[in-house]
Copies of this chain bind each other. A is one copy, B any other.
């Protein structure tokens, strides 16, 4: 029982929080997640090791087990965080009682603005590494994505009823085009670049909304 796996197991079963975490423990936990996001983003989840993360934070690998049970817990925590922003945006849009045009504007804008709330590496990990989650965790993230995409299609269909969206628009294709565009901001966005996240959000929202309208002079269905 002297090998690394046994030692890991010992540390894992030893530590258990019985009281709420102290402010110091909470700060350390945040530091660990931030380091994990950077390392998963840079090397990929599969290639990254807990040792790399412990080294980045400057703690012993064994100390990580005070906060997590496995590397996957870190991935799930990161994914879950971005997922929460996205869930808030979805719920706000579901509760929004305006016109389809107003709702699509708010939904697209809210989606992109959430990118400013955290380090871009969290968003990148969310989009590129969630596939390595297992079982129910994976299912939860995928189910949310499907719900999110389906919601945009509902808004576009509402827009067709209200006459704001051109009847020629294929709802699925338009939703896919908009989501592709807004989901890829993390690939190139730079905090210190010429465009702020607000500029990007306003520009893409304008394009998305405007792109759904009929061309000038189009004979309505």
Of A211, A215, A216, most buried by chain B (CB within 10 Å of CB) is A211
* Cα separation A207 to B172 with both chains bound (whole Å): 13
Indicate the size class of the contact surface on chain A: 20 to 34
Counted per complex, copies of this chain come to: 2
* Cα separation A207 to B204 with both chains bound (whole Å): 12
Question: SS class of chain A's interface: helix, strand, loop or mixed?
Answer: helix
Residues of B contacting A56 with CB < 8 Å?
none
* Cα separation A178 to B126 with both chains bound (whole Å): 23
**Is A176's CB within 8 Å of the partner chain B?**
yes
- Beta-carbon contact of A203 and B174 below 8 Å: yes
Interface hit among A23-31, A92-100, A180-188: A180-188
- Beta-carbon contact of A206 and B215 below 8 Å: yes
Task: Digitize A41-76: 1 where CB-to-B-CB distance is under 8 Å, 0 elsewhere.
Answer: 000000000000000000000000000000000000
* Cα separation A34 to B166 with both chains bound (whole Å): 41
Residues of B contacting A90 with CB < 8 Å?
none
Given contacts A170-B203, A199-B173, contact A210 B211 (CB under 8 A): yes
- Beta-carbon contact of B210 and A195 below 8 Å: no
